[in-house]
Every structure is written in C-alpha cells, then in structure tokens.
C-alpha cells in the first residue's frame, strides 16, 4: 500500500495491524511516517486506527472496528497490495494508483 511516498506491507491479526515500511528513507522518524502507516492500515482494514506504536520501519496499530468483531467489518480490505503504476502531479502527490492486492 502506497501512502504519500511511503510503501507499506500491511498485515492484520484481529484488532491489531502491522505496517512494515518497505521503501528507503534517509533518517526516518515515526513522527512523519506514523500517520502514513496509520492511513495505510485504515485503507486495508476498513477500521479506524486508535493508536500506533513502534518505529519508522515497523509500526503496530490498534484498530477500532466498532461494535462488531474484526471479521464483521463493514469495509473489509485486502491484506497486502503492490503498486503497479502511479501517476503524479507536480509536487509529487500521488493522484492515481493501480494496485495488485492479495487477501490471505
């Protein structure tokens, strides 16, 4: 899953999500990378991320999926996506993505 220049491999386990950052970045810090990881977790899980922990390479998120069990999410998503193509505007913000996603 690609979010604003960072690529994450997101895995789900019940109400937990792991986001492993896969792209190189000079002197990464959790401050700027964490919100991007949380957004990737939300897109994949369909749940809101209540809290994140970890470092800039591996981020753990606590999911809030509402009153239903994790398997009863309203918007279930794939667990792993690869970016095949992306179109960008001036300034580098991604506008259009083509993803190849796999559900485990």
- Facing residues of 52 across strands? 61
pLDDT in tens, 40-90: 999 999 999 999 999 999 999 999 998 654 554 445 555 677 777 766 666
Q: How far apart are CA 68 and CA 75, in angstroms?
A: 12
pLDDT in tens, 8-48: 999 999 999 999 999 988 888 899 899 999 999 999 999 99
Give the CA distances from residue 1 to residues 7, 66, 68, 69, 101, in Å, rounded to whole numbers and listed in that order.
6, 23, 25, 24, 9
Verdict on whether the full-model pTM lies above 0.85 = no
């Amino acid at each position: 899953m690609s979010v604003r220049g960072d690529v994450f491999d997101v895995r789900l386990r019940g109400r937990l999500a792991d986001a492993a950052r896969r792209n190189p970045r000079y002197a990464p810090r959790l401050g700027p990378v964490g919100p991007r990881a949380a957004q990737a977790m939300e897109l994949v899980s369909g749940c809101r991320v209540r809290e994140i922990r970890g470092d800039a390479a591996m981020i753990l998120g606590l999911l809030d999926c509402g009153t239903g069990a994790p398997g009863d999410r309203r918007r279930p998503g794939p667990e792993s996506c690869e970016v095949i193509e992306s179109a960008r505007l001036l300034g580098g913000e991604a506008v259009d993505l083509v993803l190849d996603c796999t559900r485990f």
